[in-house]
């Protein structure tokens, strides 16, 4: 058993104790094992962090883009050098498998590299003017102080894709991570500290959800980026709107995979398994609904159930493990209640569903990979409600259009996967599936840092994340009319 790490906050370039109560991070595979512990941040810490960010924002904004980027590139190297160790800590703290933990640290480094090189990309636009001797420029400026509130399920990658663009575009940041994964938040902050980020440009506050509320209500806040539950996101969005603060929010998902009759069934089986059960289904882009063409449903579901049944579920730090626990006992019980409700509402259980009985997995927060089939058009909450666990609900479709209609039968529109070898159907899916991300012949989860990420309908609010889309949130434009001093004509318009 490893020694528990002492949790600290990072304010104005200094690691400090909090002034709140005790906060403990535990291993979800062995909840009696403490990963990290300390005092959470309190109101005084919030005030100090916001004041520090406000005091540093102007100096950081004036720092040349290449210098800002160099800090991010050095931080990327530090993450890469520590990927093995931090990946192990991530597996212990969050429950991902060892391979996924290491991969997530490397993804965070990739994101920092992408934004670290932003100084070599365009920095504005020039437009033609209808007036002689004049040029019109559109430049971008940072928002100022940005609050970042991140979830537990990607404890270093999601913070990276918010913090990296916020910093590269010249903002100061106050970051509140999920209280269940504070150790990886410290590691990301340490990487930036070691990379030479100036004091006060990034401030880390570990603690309960009330800190996020305090951030969005603080008068020094200039913008808020949030990823988490729909309920919390809407609450923060309402508070931000009331204070005139722009917000970027990525919220729930109930993502569908569609397997049509012409699909490569072996490929579809592999990808649906990955989408539904990797990370124990705790991804906003996870496959939680499956729609299968009638013609291949029996064959496909039999193979899918057998493959899911064979997954090795256990200690995520064991290299042979294919699926670890969910984040907490509260999450496990909520998921089990959702399964029970689905069965009570008429769902057929194909695999899983029942709690584990062996000593090792009973002690941890494990949920068995579960597949439930919904027959006919009967109501089932599981088709619409996000369980955020390794549970897949299935319906059959008599036609391609029926499959698309079932996929769109959701308040959410984050991601979808379509399995077909017909390019015409793939193009039709691009037009008809109302989602922010569509994968054709690959799992519903997964996003690259150089392209937009975000959902449609109630899955997202505000500008998209990642790629150059991030610039739309972390900066605002200034349109500059530059008239030469020797112009012989007067401006004939006014606005």
Q: Which residues pair with 202 in a beta bridge?
A: 173
In 345-399, which ranges are continuous DSSP H helix?
359-363
Pick the catalytic residue: 100, 193, 250, 443?
A: 250
Strand order in the sheet with 134-142: 124-128, 134-142, 475-483
Contacts of 427 (CB under 8 A, 6+ apart): none
**Whole-number Å distance between alpha carbons of 393 and 380:** 10
Radius of gyration from C-alpha coordinates of the chain: 24
Tokens of 260: 């049509």
Is the Cβ–Cβ distance between 109 and 79 less than 8 Å? yes
Model pTM score: 0.95
Q: Which uninterrupted H or E stretch holds 40? A: none
- Strand runs labelled E in 76-198: 124-128, 134-142, 145-149, 172-176
The pLDDT, as a whole number, for residue 2 is 73
Distances (CA, A) of 323 to 174, 187, 276: 33, 24, 11
Tokens of 82: 């520590």
Distances (CA, A) of 246 to 210, 361, 457, 465: 19, 44, 19, 14
Is the Cβ–Cβ distance between 256 and 393 less than 8 Å? no
Contacts of 492 (CB under 8 A, 6+ apart): 131
Characterize the bridge pairing of strands 172-176 and 145-149: parallel
What string of pLDDT tens digits covers the 495 residues of the chain?
A: 578 999 999 999 999 999 889 999 999 999 999 999 999 999 999 999 999 999 999 999 999 999 999 999 999 999 999 999 999 999 999 999 999 999 999 999 999 999 999 989 888 899 999 999 999 999 999 999 999 999 999 999 999 999 999 999 999 999 999 999 999 999 999 999 999 999 999 999 999 999 999 999 999 999 999 999 988 999 999 999 999 999 999 999 999 999 999 999 999 999 999 999 999 999 999 999 999 999 999 999 999 999 999 999 999 999 999 999 999 999 999 999 999 999 999 999 999 999 998 888 899 999 999 999 998 767 899 999 999 999 999 999 999 999 999 999 999 999 999 999 999 999 999 999 999 999 999 999 988 999 999 999 999 999 999 999 999 999 999 999 999 876 445 555 555
Residue where the block lists tokens 């990379």: 195
The pLDDT, as a whole number, for residue 339 is 97
- Catalytic residue status for 250: yes
Pick the catalytic residue: 284, 373, 386, 443?
A: 284
Q: Which residues pair with 141 in a beta bridge?
A: 476
Tokens of 448: 């690259």
The pLDDT, as a whole number, for residue 1 is 56
The pLDDT, as a whole number, for residue 359 is 83
Tokens of 373: 């089939």
């Amino acid at each position: 058993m490893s020694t528990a790490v002492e949790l600290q906050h990072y304010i104005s370039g200094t690691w400090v104790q909090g002034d709140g109560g005790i906060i403990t991070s535990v291993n979800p595979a062995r909840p009696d094992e403490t990963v990290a512990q300390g005092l959470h941040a309190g109101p005084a810490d919030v005030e100090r962090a916001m004041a520090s960010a406000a005091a540093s924002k102007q100096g950081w904004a004036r720092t040349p883009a290449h210098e800002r980027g160099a800090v991010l590139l050095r931080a990327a190297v530090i993450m890469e050098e520590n990927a093995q160790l931090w990946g192990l800590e991530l597996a212990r703290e969050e429950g991902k498998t060892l391979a996924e933990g290491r991969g997530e640290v490397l993804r965070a480094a990739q994101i920092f590299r992408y934004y670290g090189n932003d100084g070599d990309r365009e920095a504005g636009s020039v437009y033609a003017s209808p007036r002689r001797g004049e040029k019109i420029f559109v430049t971008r400026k940072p928002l100022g102080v940005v609050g970042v509130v991140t979830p537990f399920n990607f404890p270093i990658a999601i913070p990276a894709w918010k913090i990296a663009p916020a910093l590269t575009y010249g903002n100061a940041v106050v970051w509140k991570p999920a209280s269940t994964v504070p150790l990886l938040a410290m590691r990301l902050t340490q990487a930036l500290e070691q990379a030479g980020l100036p004091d006060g440009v990034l401030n880390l506050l570990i603690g309960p959800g009330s800190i996020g509320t305090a951030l969005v209500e603080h008068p020094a806040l200039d913008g808020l980026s949030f990823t988490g539950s729909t309920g919390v996101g809407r609450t923060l969005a309402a508070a931000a709107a009331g204070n005139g603060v722009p917000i970027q929010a990525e919220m729930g998902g109930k993502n569908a995979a569609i397997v049509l009759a012409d699909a490569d069934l072996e490929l579809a089986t592999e990808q649906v398994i990955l989408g539904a059960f990797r990370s124990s289904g705790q991804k906003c882009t996870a496959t939680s609904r499956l729609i299968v063409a009638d013609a291949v449903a029996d064959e496909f579901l039999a193979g899918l159930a057998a493959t899911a049944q064979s997954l090795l579920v256990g200690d995520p730090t064991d290299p042979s493990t294919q699926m670890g626990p969910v984040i907490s006992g509260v999450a496990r019980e909520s998921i089990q209640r959702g399964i029970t409700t689905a069965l009570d509402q008429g769902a057929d259980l194909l695999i899983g569903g029942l709690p584990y009985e062996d000593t090792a997995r009973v002690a941890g927060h494990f949920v068995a990979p579960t597949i439930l089939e919904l027959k006919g058009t009967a109501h089932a909450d599981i088709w619409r409600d996000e369980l955020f666990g390794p549970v897949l609900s299935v319906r059959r479709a008599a036609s391609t259009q029926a499959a698309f209609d079932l996929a769109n039968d959701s308040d959410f529109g984050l991601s979808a996967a379509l399995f077909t070898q017909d390019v015409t159907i793939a193009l039709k899916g691009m037009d008809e599936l109302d989602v922010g991300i569509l994968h054709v012949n690959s799992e519903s989860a997964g996003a690259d840092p150089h392209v937009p990420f975000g959902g449609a309908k109630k899955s997202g609010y505000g500008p998209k994340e990642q790629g150059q889309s991030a610039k739309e949130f972390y900066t605002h434009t200034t349109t500059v009319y530059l008239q030469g001093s020797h112009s012989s004509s007067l401006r004939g318009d006014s606005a």
